Amino acid sequence: MSRIVTLDEFILHNENLQTSSTGKLTKVLRDIGVAAKIVNREVNKAGLVNILGIEGSSNSSGDMVQKLDIFSNEKMIACLSNSGEVAAIVSEENEELIHLPKVKTIKPTYLVAMDPLDGSSNIDVNVSVGTIFGIYQITDPEADITDKSFLQKGCEVIAGGYVLYGTSTMLVYTTGNGVNGFTLDPSIGEFCLSHPNIKIPSRGNYYSVNQGYYLKFDVEMRRYIDYCNDLNLRLRYIGSMVSDVHRMLFQGGIFLYPNTRKYPHGKLRLLYECIPMSMVVEQAGGKAINCQLERILDISPINIHQRATIVIGSPDMVDEMENFVKRYSLSEIT
Ligand code: AHG
Ligand code: MN
Ligand code: MN
């Protein structure tokens, strides 16, 4: 049996390998790990809310879903406030950016964009949810932190990852040097390295898209989905991006959230859904583009809650989708 490597040990070890490392990112990643354990504990109690009479629970499950969103948001913010290394947070749950209080004389280095609870509509039916995070560097240490400080391309982001609260709880992240996955061992309360150096298969048997919107997709997207059907690919769609992308990361496949009539620019958020998940997938050897065929990590964001379309997954399948769309658009013109 190989020796157990905890998340803390792994982060610290990797920090020591980098001569330029200051240990600041280590603190932020550790704080995310702590928040993930607290959120996990609460997510696991979701079904018990009415039995346990948790404060303010009332008896509406819809209410509980909202509470877990807010709970996760609060815990993430509280944990990210610990180190003093994070100046501000952009969260799906807050319209405005959140400035964190100063800790002693520490001058913060980072900004965090996060979706504290992804797939929250799944909570009350005991289906997997997640947390997504991206860690951004403060590019101008002298300037005030504003929305503009967050408007960086994904390729400039320092670290990205997610936590999946599934049949087991996993934290998967990258600092731009490969992707590693850690599984929470509840008996010791530690995330343990379980999936080192994750590589996405070049192809897979799955495609993942909300096919209920088929008639609302652009024609080339409809044709591509028909093509997936022709190939006998299996459709899997949980409605929690973290869970859908996680499956694809290990088994290969393609995940799409194209523009619809309701969401003409796509539904998913660029800063705290598309960019961190694209970082992870690219670092594992996959690809991520939008429906205009631009690399997600090359998009210059123009606002903090911006939405984007996304096609992400196994490299050969994303290439194929891209060629398919190009060919189809061309045949439309000629
Ligand atoms: P959130 O729960 O953070 O609002 O995110 C839900 C997102 C994403 O996780 C998922 O892939 C997508 O919304 C599902 O949307 P549809 O129900 O429109 O398919
Ligand atoms: Mn989400
Ligand atoms: Mn969310």
Ligand 1 pocket, residue 210 CB under 6 Å: yes
Residue recorded with tokens 């346990």: 52
Query: What is the pLDDT confidence band of residue 55, given thresholds at 50, 70 and 90?
Result: very low
Query: How high is the pLDDT of residue 197?
Result: 98
Closest listed residue to residue 210, CA positions, set 134, 119, 283, 145: 119
Q: Looking at 85, 92, 190, 220, which residue is catalytic? A: 92
What does DSSP assign to residue 110?
E
Residue 287 has pLDDT above 50, yes or no: yes
Q: Which of 147, 175, 195 is the last residue of a domain?
A: 195
Same domain, 142 and 188: yes
Pocket test for ligand 1, best of 71, 265, 268, 269 (most atoms within 8 A of CB): 268
Same domain, 109 and 223: no
Same domain, 185 and 222: no
Distance CA 40, CA 69 (A): 12
Q: Which atom of ligand 1 is nearest to the CA of 122?
A: 2
Q: Which of 163, 195, 227 is the last residue of a domain?
A: 195
Distance CA 87, CA 89 (A): 7
Instruction: Count CB-CB contacts under 10 A for residue 149.
Output: 20
CA of 118 to the centre of ligand 2 (A): 4
Distance CA 282, CA 178 (A): 9
Q: Which atom of ligand 1 is nearest to the CA of 115?
A: 3
List the structure tokens of 78. Answer: 């509280």
Ligand 1 pocket, residue 69 CB under 6 Å: no
The contacts of residue 198 (CB under 8 Å, 6+ apart) are 172, 178, 179, 180, 181, 249, 250, 284
Ligand 1 pocket, residue 93 CB under 6 Å: no
- Taking the model in full, what pTM does it have? 0.94
Same domain, 220 and 170: no
pLDDT > 70 in the chain, percent: 91
Which residues constitute the domain of residue 309? 206-328
Closest listed residue to residue 220, CA positions, set 270, 274, 293: 293
Query: How high is the pLDDT of residue 56?
Result: 52
Contact criterion met (CB below 8 Å) for 121 and 65: yes
Distance CA 275, CA 282 (A): 10
Pocket test for ligand 1, best of 67, 236, 257, 274 (most atoms within 8 A of CB): 257
List the structure tokens of 269. Answer: 């958020």
At 297-332, the pLDDT tens digits run: 999 999 999 999 999 999 999 999 999 999 887 776
Same domain, 16 and 154: yes
Residue recorded with tokens 């998967």: 172
Ligand 1 pocket, residue 239 CB under 6 Å: yes
Distance CA 255, CA 245 (A): 7
Overall number of domains in the chain? 2
